[in-house]
Structure 1
Amino acid sequence: MPLPILALAIASFCIGTTEFVIMGLLPEVAADLGVSIPAAGLLVTGYALGVVFGAPIIAIGTARLPRKAVLIGLASLFVVGNLFCALAPNYWTLMVARVVTAFGHGAFFGIGSVVAASLVPKNQRASAMALMFAGLTLANILGVPAGTALGEAFGWRSTFYAVVAIGIISVAAIAWLVPAGVAPPSSGGIASEVKVLGKLQVWLAMIISALASASLFSVFTYIKPILTDVSGISVSAVTWVLLLFGAGMTVGNIVGGKLADWKLMPTVLGTLVLLVAMFLFLAEISSLPMVMIATVFVWGVLTFVIVPPMQMRVVETASEAPNLAATLNQGAFNMGNAAGAWIGSVAISLGVAYQHLPFVGAATTLLALAVALFSFWIDRRPAELDYVEPVGSTS
C-alpha cells in the first residue's frame, strides 16, 4: 500500500470505529447518562444525519482550499469531536459532539477518495480508493469489537479516548505522508463543484449507491433476530458471525477495486445481479445454520464489492469537479442506511416474517439494478442526455 494511502486508511479506520462502536456500547452509555437504550440509540441516528447534512456544507466550504490541508482539518475535527464525546457530562452534550464529529465523515471519504485516486496511475484508481476504504472495513472487524470490549471493561469513555489516540496518529500520518499540492481544487471553485451536479449520470450513480445500501440495511438491521430466531444460532455466536460478515466486506472491498479498474459498470451490474440471487437464496436457507453462516460471508463480500466502483463512478462522471459529488455519494450511502432500516421496519410491521426480509432486500436491489441499467444505456447515447437543464433556463 502506498504510504500516503496508508495514512488515509488509518484515518478511515478511526472514522469507521467512531461511527459503529457506539452500537456495542448503548447499554453502558444509557446507564451512565441516565437515559433509555432507545434514546441512546438515537446517537446512531444523529451521527448518520450529521454525515448526510454536513457533507455538502464542508465540501462547499472547503472547495478552494488545498486538499491536504482539508484532510488534516477533517481528521483533526474527529480528534476534537471524539475528545468531547469522551468528556460529555450529559446526553445532549454527547449528541451534539456526535453530530459535529459526523460533519467531517462524508467530506473526508469524498475528498480522500479523490486524493487516493490522484496518487496512482489511471488504471489503478478504484483499487487506490479501495485501499483507503480498507480502514473502514477493518474498523468493523477490529475497531468495533476491540472498542466494545474496552468500553465494557473500563467504561464507554475509555473507548473514545482510544479513538482520540488513533486519530492523533492519523493526523500526523496525513501531515507527514500525503504530498503537498495533491489533487488540486477545481479551478472554478464552488461554482464548478455545484454545476457538475447538473449531470444526470452523477445523480444516477448516487441513487444506485443509496439503493444498494438500503437493500443491505433493510435486512442487516435485523440480522440478530434472523440468526437467533430463524437460523437457531446462539446469541454468543452472533458476534463471530458478524465478524465473518466484516471479513467478507474486507475481501469484497479489495476485489471490488480490482474489478472496477478492469470493467467498472459491468462490475456494478454483475454485482447487483449476484446480490439479488444471494438475497433470494438467503430467504430459502435462513433456517439452516451452517449454510446461513457461509452465506453471511458471501453477503459481506458482495456488499462491499460495489462500494469502490460506485465511488469511482461518481468521480468519473463528475470529473471536472469531483469533490462535492464524491462527498455527496457518502451521504447517499448513509441515507440508504437509514432508509433501509426504515423499509425493513415497515415490512415487519406489515407482517413480513424475519425469514422473508431478504425478499425485501432483493426487491430494493432490483431497483438499484434498473437504475444501473438505465445509466449504462445512457453511456451509449448522445452526450446531451447526460445533462439536466437547470430549472428556468432557456435554450
Structure 2
Amino acid sequence: MPIRLVSLILAIFCVGTAELVPSGMLHELSDDLAVSISTAGLLVAVYALTMAFGGPLVTLLTTRIERRALMTGLLVFSVIGNVVSATAGNYTVLVVGRIITAMIHGTFVALCVVTAGSMVPKEKAGSAVAATQLGINLATVLGVPLGTFVGQHFGWRTTFGTIAVLGVAAALLVFLTVPKAKGATDNSGVSRELKVFRKWNVLGTIVATALCSGGMFTLITYMVPLLTDVSGFADSWVPGLLIAYGVGSIVGNMIGGKLADRALMASLIGLSALLTLTCALYCLVSPVMALSGVFVFLFSVATFALIPGLQTRVLSTAADAPTLSLTANMSAFGVGAAVGSWYGGEVIDLGFGVRGVPLAAAVLVALGTLVIVQLAFSERRRDKAKPTPRSEPVAVALSGSNES
C-alpha cells in the first residue's frame, strides 16, 4: 500500500477515533465531571451537530486553498481541539474542544476521498477511495476499544491527549507524502447543484439516512452502559466487546458493498429491516450476558452493511451534484447521530432506563425503512410509466409542447 494512502488512513483513523471514543468513556466522563450519563452522552450529539452544519460551511470557505496545505491545516485544527478536550477543567470546556475538533471532520474526510482517487490511475480510483474507509473501520475496531482501555486505566484526558499526538504524526505524514493539488476555484456551480435537492429521490434518501443513522447512534452512544449496567459485564470486558463490534463493522462493510452492487434498493430494504429487528431483539436479550455479546456483533454487522448502500443511493440519485450530495449525506449521518444520542438520553431520563434504548433505536430505523420502501415503490412506478421505444416520439413531443 502506498505511503500516501497510509497517511490518509492514519489521519481518518485519528479523526474517526476522536468522534467515537466518548461513547466508550461515559462512566469516566460522568463521574469526573459530575454530570449525568445522558449529559455525558450529549458530547456525541454536540460533535455530530457541529460536523453536520459546520462541515459544509468550512468546505465553502476553503475551496480556494491548496489541497495538501488545507488537509494539513485541518488536522492541526483537530489536534488543537483534542488538546483542549484533554486539558478541560469542566464539562463546558470539553464541549468547546469537541466543537473545535468536529468543525473539520466533514471537509477533511471528503478531501481524503477526493485525494485518494486522484493519486492512482482511473481504473484503480474506486479501490483507493474504498481503502480510505479503512480508517473509520480501524477507529471502530482499535481506536474506540483502546481509547476506552486507556480512559479506564489512565483517565479520559490521556485518551484525548494520545489522539492529539497521533494527529500530529498524521499531519506530518500528510504534508510530506500527499502531492500538491489545486483547490476548487469556481463556486459558480453551487447554486446549480442545490437544485438536485428538489428531487424527492435525493431528499428522501437523505431523510432515510438521517433516520437510520439516528437509530444507529441511539444504541451506539449508550452501548457501554447497556453492556455493564444491564448485561452485567465488568468494565474490563468492555474493550474486548468493542473490538468485536469493530470486527463486525468490517464484515458488515464488505457485505453491504457487495449487496449494494447487486441490488441496491432490495438490499437497502432488507438490511434496514434487519437492523430494526436486531435492535428490537437486543432489547429482549440484553439482560442475558452471552446473548448480549452476540448481539453487539450482529448489530455492528447490520449497521455497517446498511451504510454503503445509503451512500451509494445518494450518489446515484444525485449524479449531477456528486460533491454536494456527498456532503449532504455526511451531514445527514451527523444529524442522525446528534438526534440519536439526545433521543437515547431522553429515553433513559423518562424512566425507561438503559434497557429501553435498543427498542427506541428500532423505532427510528423502522421509520427510515418505511421511507426507503416508499422510495422503492415510487421508483418502480416511474420505471413502469416510462414510455416504450415506439411511444418515445410522442412523449418527447408532448414534453416539448409543455415547455413551450
TM-score, length of structure 1 as denominator length: 0.80
Instruction: Write the mapping of 1:248-263 to structure 2, written as runs, cut at 5 A.
Output: 248-263=248-263
Q: Is the 8 A contact 2:344 2:360 kept in 1?
A: yes
Aligned to 2:289: 289
Q: 1:192 to 1:183 in 2, by over 3 A?
A: farther
Structure 1 gap ranges (5+): 386-393
Match of 1:36 among 30, 34, 37: 34
Aligned to 2:400: none
For residues 246-395 of structure 1, what are the structure 2 equivalents within 5 Å?
A: 246-348=246-348, 352=352, 355=355, 357-380=357-380
- Percent of paired sites with the same residue: 37
Contact 1:29 1:40 in 2 (8 A): yes
When Rg is computed on C-alpha atoms for both structures, the one with the higher figure is: 2
Q: In structure 1, what is the Cα distance between the partners aligned to 2:185 and 2:382?
A: 29
Alpha-carbon offset, residue 13 of structure 1: 0.6
- After superposition, the Cα gap between the structure-2 partners of 1:296 and 1:310, relative to the gap in structure 1 and judged at 3 Å, is same
- Change in 2 beyond 3 A, CA 1:110/1:364: same
| Count of aligned positions | 383
Q: 1:68 to 1:249 in 2, by over 3 A?
A: same
Following superposition, the deviation at residue 25 of structure 1 comes to: 5.2
Partner of residue 137, structure 1 = 137
Residue 61 of structure 1 aligns with which residue? Answer: 61
Which SS does the other structure have where 2:104 is aligned? Answer: helix
Match of 1:389 in 2: none
Return the offset for 1:122.
7.5
Q: 1:349, 1:94 → 2: CA distance?
A: 22
What residue number does 2:165 align with? 165
How far does residue 301 in structure 1 lie from its aligned partner after superposition?
A: 1.0
Instruction: Report how far residue 295 of structure 1 moved.
Output: 2.1
CA-atom RMSD in angstroms: 3.7
1:253–1:308: 8 Å Cα contact kept in structure 2?
A: yes
- What TM-score do the two structures reach when normalised by structure 2? 0.78
Aligned mates of 1:380, 1:68 — CA distance in 2? 44
Report how far residue 330 of structure 1 moved.
2.0
Q: Deviations over 1:53-99 (max 9, x none)?
A: 21121122234555555433322321333344445566544433321
Deviation track 1:21-79 (CA, whole Å, cap 9, x = no partner) reads: 345556766787xx423466554443233212211211222345555554333223213
Change (3 A) 1:95 1:114: same
The match for 1:98 is 98
CA distance in 2, matches of 1:374, 1:36: 45
- Distance change (3 Å), C-alpha of 1:124 and 1:293: farther
Unaligned runs of 5+ in 2: 386-402
Alignment CA distance shift 1:162-1:289 (3 Å): closer
CA distance in 2, matches of 1:256, 1:92: 39
For 1:170-185, list aligned pairs within 5 A.
170-181=170-181
Instruction: Give the AA of the match of 1:18.
Output: A
Shift in Å, 1:135: 1.4
Tell me if structure 1 keeps the 8 A contact 2:276–2:366. Answer: yes
